[in-house]
Amino acid sequence: MIWLGATVGVPLAMLLACVLPGVRYRMTNWLALAAVPGLGAALFASGASLDLPPLLLRLRLSLDGPGALLLGAAALLWIAGGVYAAAWLRGDARRGRIAVWWLLTLAGSLGVFIAADLVSFYLLFSMVSLAAYGLVIEGATPDALRVGLIYVALAIFGEALLLMGFVMLAVSAPDGASLIRDVVAALPASPRSNAILTLIILGFGVKLGMVPFHVWMPITYRTAPVPAAAVLSGAAVKAGVIGLIRFLPSGVALPGWGQVLVVLGFISAFYGVLAGVRQSDPRTVLAFSSVSQMGVVIAVFGMGLIAGDTGVALAAAFYGVHHTLVKGGLFLGVGLAPLAGAWRNRLVLVPAAIMALGMAGLPLTGGFLAKLAIKPVLGDGLAGLLGTVSSAATALLMTHFLFRVAALPKAAPAPPPGRDLRWPWLAVAVASVLVPWGLYPAVLGGSVTYALSASSLWRSLWPVLVGGGLGFAMQRWGGSVILVRDSNVIVPVSARVDRIMIGLGIAVERFDIVLREWPVAMLSLIAMAVALAVLMLAPI
Amino acid sequence: MIAAPALLVLAIMAPATGVVLAFAFGGRAAEWIAIATTVAGAAIAAGIAATLWSTGLPLRYVIGDWAPPLGIALRADGLSAIMLLTSAVVMGAVVLFARETFAQRPGAPETRTPLIFWTMLMGVWAGLNAVWLAGDLFTLYVALELLTFSAVPLVSLEGKPETLVAALRYMLFALVGSVLYLLGCALLYGGYGTLDLELLAHAVRAEPVTVLAAALMTAGLAAKTALFPLHLWLPPAHAGAPAAASALLSALVVKGSFILIVRLWFDALPGVAGAGAATLLAAMGAAAIICGSIVALRQARLKLMIAYSTVAQIGYLFFLFPLAGAAGHWSRIAWTGGMMQLVAHAVAKAAMFLAAGLIGEALGHDRIAGFAGLGRALPVVMLAFGLAGMSLMGLPPSGGFVAKAMLLTASVGEGQWWWAVVILIGGLLAAGYTFRVLAPALAGGPVPLVAPIPRSRQAIVLGLAVCALLLGLVPLRPSQLLEVGRPVAMAVSR
């Protein structure tokens, strides 16, 4: 299918065109086009697959239901983000470089949803993770370089875990299997299944900001330029969601592992809120909300794994669709808020309030449907209760977020770029409601009448009221209790880690100097010859 | 039409003739003789590889029709073909790159340095091709000496005191290695009356004399390969040489003695070494990866950092012995993976050293601390450096990724997962030292350059880096070409 090839091919072709400096500096104007084939694929190519010409490697792209959901939402956000970036970066000296990293990240971000074999998945996953480094270090903050370093160190660490997991999967699979579907089918029976699942959960956990691997998220989203933070937080992070969809066994109950995921997921879900309400920068608040929301998704996967439920992939993907649009959209809104002048309330805060509280399940929003979709998976037991509490917690965090946006200093009355930022922002805001309503009956087979019944509306509304009320109360009376301050903890911590590593490095260096002295080297040589002879004579 | 086996002789004779002609015709002609040799050498390598690929059989040429053990046989298997091709590609890039550095300016009086560079370059190539093709241990000894004695002058080309010290250090340590190797040869000749690889393979028994010979020869060759902790000579020698020479030394010369160990263990003395010795070699390789990478991270100068990276990357090669030592599927994966590491490292490291050379020329120094803004001043060079670094880290798509994925697969498949852990840690550390250069280069305003760098030279470096990238398209399964003529009886299993 041409759409699948174009999803990755078009952004890469545009990237290649950036070799010409003249094109590179104008490329920001066309960034939105790069994601159009991805949207086309999501709409028209679901169920298709494409074997890339078997030149040497055999790569396969294919699109299934959950993949199409996430791909479509991500492509929408990348398009809106592209339009936003064109206005945001007008006249910016960095725009050429940002375009290059943008396209590379985009190709990987959309590509992971359609990669069907191990090698292309790993390739595209690495692409989205590592190219994002370029976007992070283009940020304006003075510590952008260090933030980039922390980000890339964790990303590469996560990838090393995944590579090991993938290799073990391939080794355990029937001979010659390279499709993810086939190797994962062989996973439950593998003698290495525990090691593989550990590696995969940790590897994708880094991407999803699973506590304690979340440390990169708040600093990265605060540092990256606004449009980049939007696509990274909305679209790029979903590489972890599709990873869990693809690599966790489906239809096989693994209760032990399911419980581990549920616990890890809810730890993230609540930690994100508790840490988030202490932040003053609205972008950092949003980042902690991502930690929390991805925690909920992890818990959903856990419940699916406990029951051996095959429907969990679609539910999680649907939840992901909403989160993609809302989280990406809110970042666009935060960028616009200081520039919106007198229109801030109507133009930014009202849509932002609908989206933000939607994440907590505010009735009639897209998030309301997202919560409905995962409700049957979480069930009525403890997990269901924790899910409801986390909704209330999200409402609390989002109320805090809205106050922080309202408190942003106002810039001079909207200059023209500020005006051009409105349309992509409003488009994503509208899509975050309409898209879930369109997909819920059509793709998920959900009943709209059930959704609109009084009982389900109320079940969704009261956690928002409770959480939102708490949020208001905290703003009104607990301002000093919240102790608003920025979470810059990780940067000094990483500096401390640096010092330890430097100490270790110096020790190894000294050791190396000793080894490189003539007498020591000659002794090593003799010792090696003797050891070899002894080992050869006396086989172990 | 030349008969295919005669190509084996030509592969050695072409650069050897180049050495003689360059001495005879002197300075200005040397450069053009080297270029002509490069073209011829590449064609010969391609011809040999194509023949092996199409027939699936190794080539053999018996010199003067005197069959071994009396005469000398040259032999090309899949491994030889791959190494011939790799040498041709790296040589081609180095020759094109060096034209600017070692040109004899018209009108100016002839200088000695270019003449020595071009002749020694061809000497190195003749030695390398002889190592890839020789069929007996004594010819291999001669080839190795030719290689070493052509490489030493390249180290001291600039004539500065510290490079002379480095060259002397290199030569002395290599000499010790040679002595051990020669001692082993003598023992084997005394024991079996032949040094031919194939004849030895049929005759050897695991008795004390054979074992002693194998141990001495392996240790000697490990010294020449700079296997940790026998690497005292490598960092100063590779960092002190001019960039074009460093690329050659790091990419190819250290691989010569490594291939000799492979020939010894797998071809000449199958079944002698045993699993314990193979584990010892791999453990030294693991120490090389960890310590070499950490020390690379500590270097303040770019070329020293790259040299220590070579110390580390050599370590991966030695995983071949425990992983490819037994028969079976995983061993074939490890064989291809190990050789892929050899090729990918050769190409990527050559690209990195050449990039470092251009950076040094452009800035007038190679202190990493002064690299801020280099990405904007030399974008193509930094791109090439980054791509080469990608291969060293083992990120897809790159030859380094294919190599590491296959070595990982083999170590998991054979249940020797500890090597896999070291491979992964090595990848993280390689990412560390690559980003240490890239991060400041990508940030900050443009730095002033002391010398402009012509685009053509930047293109050569980028081309080499792109080759490292394209190697990533090699499929993750045992390579057909590498299997050609591979001995079925394996080294380690008894």
What chain A residue is nearest to B214 in terms of C-alpha separation? A533
Which positions ≥6 away from A88 have C-beta within 8 Å? A225, A226, A227, A335, A417, A421
Q: Within this chain, do residues A341 and A437 fall inside the same structural domain, yes or no?
A: yes
The yes-or-no verdict on residue B443 having pLDDT over 90 is no
Q: Within this chain, do residues A326 and A286 fall inside the same structural domain, yes or no?
A: yes
Q: Does A530 sit within 8 Å of B215, measured CB to CB?
A: yes
Structure tokens at A362: 């505010």
B214 touches chain A (CB under 8 A): yes
Per-residue pLDDT band for A394 (boundaries 50, 70, 90) equals: very high
Please, is A408 exposed, middle or buried when counting C-beta atoms within 10 Å of its C-beta (0-12, 13-18, 19+)?
A: middle
Flag whether B243 is in a domain: no
Domain assignment of residue A455, given as a range: 272-293+308-488
The yes-or-no verdict on residue A486 having pLDDT over 60 is no
Flag whether A173 is in a domain: yes
Q: Does B413 sit within 8 Å of A171, measured CB to CB?
A: yes
- Decide: helix, strand or coil at residue A485: coil
Contact (Cβ atoms closer than 8 angstroms) between residue B244 and residue B98: yes
What pLDDT does residue B38 have? 93
Alpha carbon A31 to its chain's center: 20
Flag whether B52 is in a domain: no
d(CA B468, CA B93): 13
Query: What mean pLDDT, rounded, does chain A reach?
Result: 89
Q: Does B413 sit within 8 Å of A536, measured CB to CB?
A: no
The yes-or-no verdict on residue B359 having pLDDT over 80 is yes
What pLDDT does residue A55 have? 57
B439 touches chain A (CB under 8 A): yes
Helices (H), B193-301: 197-203, 208-225, 234-240, 243-248, 254-262, 274-298
Query: What mean pLDDT, rounded, does chain B reach?
Result: 90
CA-to-CA separations, A365 to A123, A269, A291, in angstroms, rounded: 36, 21, 21
The yes-or-no verdict on residue A482 having pLDDT over 80 is no
Flag whether A175 is in a domain: yes
The yes-or-no verdict on residue A204 having pLDDT over 80 is yes
Instruction: Please name the member of A170, A521, A526 whose beta carbon is closest to the beta carbon of B232.
Output: A521
Q: Over the stretch B56-71, which tens digit does the pLDDT of each residue have?
A: 888 888 887 787 777 8
Sign of dihedral through CA atoms B369, B371, B373, B375?
negative
Task: Average the pLDDT over B39-62 and give the result.
Answer: 92
3-state DSSP percent of chain B in helix, strand and coil, to 5:
75, 5, 20
Sign of dihedral through CA atoms A194, A196, A197, A203?
positive
Which positions ≥6 away from A164 have C-beta within 8 Å? A199, B408, B412, B420, B424
d(CA A268, CA A273): 9
Q: Within this chain, do residues A280 and A422 fall inside the same structural domain, yes or no?
A: yes
Per-residue pLDDT band for A538 (boundaries 50, 70, 90) equals: confident
Backbone dihedral angles phi then psi of residue B118, each to the nearest 5 degrees: -65, -40
d(CA A322, CA A365): 10
Smallest CA–CA distance, residue A51 to chain B, in Å, is 15
The residue with greater pLDDT, A408 or A418, is: A408
- Decide: helix, strand or coil at residue A281: coil
Per-residue pLDDT band for A484 (boundaries 50, 70, 90) equals: very low
Q: Within this chain, do residues A360 and A506 fall inside the same structural domain, yes or no?
A: no
Task: Average the pLDDT over B375-379 and give the result.
Answer: 86
The yes-or-no verdict on residue B115 having pLDDT over 80 is yes
Q: Per mean pLDDT, which range of A7-11, A254-258, A269-273, B443-447 is the poorest?
A: B443-447
d(CA A238, CA B128): 50
Flag whether B305 is in a domain: yes
What pLDDT does residue A54 have? 60
Bridge partners of A60, per DSSP, are: A51
Task: Average the pLDDT over A386-415 and give the result.
Answer: 87
CA-to-CA separations, A140 to A8, A222, B444, in angstroms, rounded: 29, 10, 12
Q: Over the stretch B286-307, which tens digit does the pLDDT of each residue have?
A: 999 999 999 999 999 999 999 9
CA-to-CA separations, A84 to A226, A345, A418, B189, B375, in angstroms, rounded: 9, 20, 10, 77, 27
d(CA A147, CA A495): 11
Instruction: Please name the member of A152, A505, A515 whose beta carbon is closest to the beta carbon of B435.
Output: A152
Please, is B263 exposed, middle or buried when counting C-beta atoms within 10 Å of its C-beta (0-12, 13-18, 19+)?
A: buried
What pLDDT does residue A533 have? 92
Q: Over the stretch B384-423, which tens digit does the pLDDT of each residue have?
A: 999 999 999 999 889 999 999 999 999 999 999 999 999 9
The yes-or-no verdict on residue A301 having pLDDT over 70 is yes
Smallest CA–CA distance, residue B230 to chain A, in Å, is 6
d(CA B177, CA B233): 12
Q: Within this chain, do residues A426 and A526 fall inside the same structural domain, yes or no?
A: no
Task: Residue B178: name the closest of B127, B241, B222 by CA.
Answer: B222
Q: Within this chain, do residues A442 and A499 fall inside the same structural domain, yes or no?
A: no
Helix (H) or strand (E) holding B59: strand B59-62
What pLDDT does residue B494 have? 44
Q: How many Cβ atoms sit within 10 Å of the Cβ of residue A508?
A: 18
Percent of chain B past pLDDT 70, that is, above it, reads 98
The DSSP secondary-structure symbol of B449 reads: P
Q: Within this chain, do residues A172 and A321 fall inside the same structural domain, yes or no?
A: no
What pLDDT does residue A24 have? 86
Q: How many Cβ atoms sit within 10 Å of the Cβ of residue B161?
A: 8
Q: Does A145 sit within 8 Å of B439, measured CB to CB?
A: yes
Task: Average the pLDDT over A165-182 and give the result.
Answer: 87
Which positions ≥6 away from B434 have C-beta within 8 Å? B385, B386, B389, B390, B392, B393
Flag whether A11 is in a domain: yes
Flag whether B278 is in a domain: no
Indicate which of B412, B462, B471 best probes the interface with A, i.e. most A CBs within 10 Å of its own CB.
Answer: B412
The yes-or-no verdict on residue A50 having pLDDT over 90 is no
Flag whether A202 is in a domain: no
Q: Does B431 sit within 8 Å of A525, measured CB to CB?
A: no
Q: Over the stretch A9-37, which tens digit does the pLDDT of each residue have?
A: 999 999 999 888 888 889 999 999 999 99
d(CA B248, CA B93): 10
C-alpha gyration radius of chain B:
21
Flag whether B449 is in a domain: yes
The yes-or-no verdict on residue B153 having pLDDT over 90 is yes
Domain count, chain A: 3
B259 touches chain A (CB under 8 A): no
Task: Average the pLDDT over B230-236 and give the result.
Answer: 94
Instruction: Please name the member of B220, B431, B476 whose beta carbon is closest to the beta carbon of A119.
Output: B476
Q: Does A516 sit within 8 Å of B231, measured CB to CB?
A: yes
Q: Within this chain, do residues A40 and A172 fall inside the same structural domain, yes or no?
A: yes
Flag whether B203 is in a domain: no
Domain count, chain B: 1
Flag whether B28 is in a domain: no
The DSSP secondary-structure symbol of B249 reads: I
d(CA A265, CA A299): 4
Flag whether A365 is in a domain: yes
Domain assignment of residue B423, given as a range: 288-489
Flag whether A263 is in a domain: no
Q: Within this chain, do residues A276 and A401 fall inside the same structural domain, yes or no?
A: yes
Task: Average the pLDDT over B322-330 and give the result.
Answer: 86
What pLDDT does residue B296 have? 95
The yes-or-no verdict on residue A116 having pLDDT over 70 is yes
Q: Within this chain, do residues A30 and A166 fall inside the same structural domain, yes or no?
A: yes
Q: Within this chain, do residues A289 and A355 fall inside the same structural domain, yes or no?
A: yes
Backbone dihedral angles phi then psi of residue A412, each to the nearest 5 degrees: -60, 155
B213 touches chain A (CB under 8 A): no
Percent of chain A past pLDDT 90, that is, above it, reads 66
Q: Within this chain, do residues A57 and A172 fall inside the same structural domain, yes or no?
A: yes
Flag whether B120 is in a domain: no
Instruction: Please name the member of A144, A505, A540 whose beta carbon is closest to the beta carbon of B294.
Output: A505
Percent of chain B past pLDDT 90, that is, above it, reads 67
Identify all chain A residues contacting B279, using CB atoms and an 8 Å cutoff.
535
Instruction: Please name the member of B214, B219, B277 whose beta carbon is closest to the beta carbon of A525.
Output: B219
Q: Is the ipTM of this complex over 0.95?
A: no
Q: What b-and-e string marks burial along A436-460, b requiring 16 or more CB atoms within 10 Å of the CB?
A: bbebbeebbebeeeebeeeebeebb
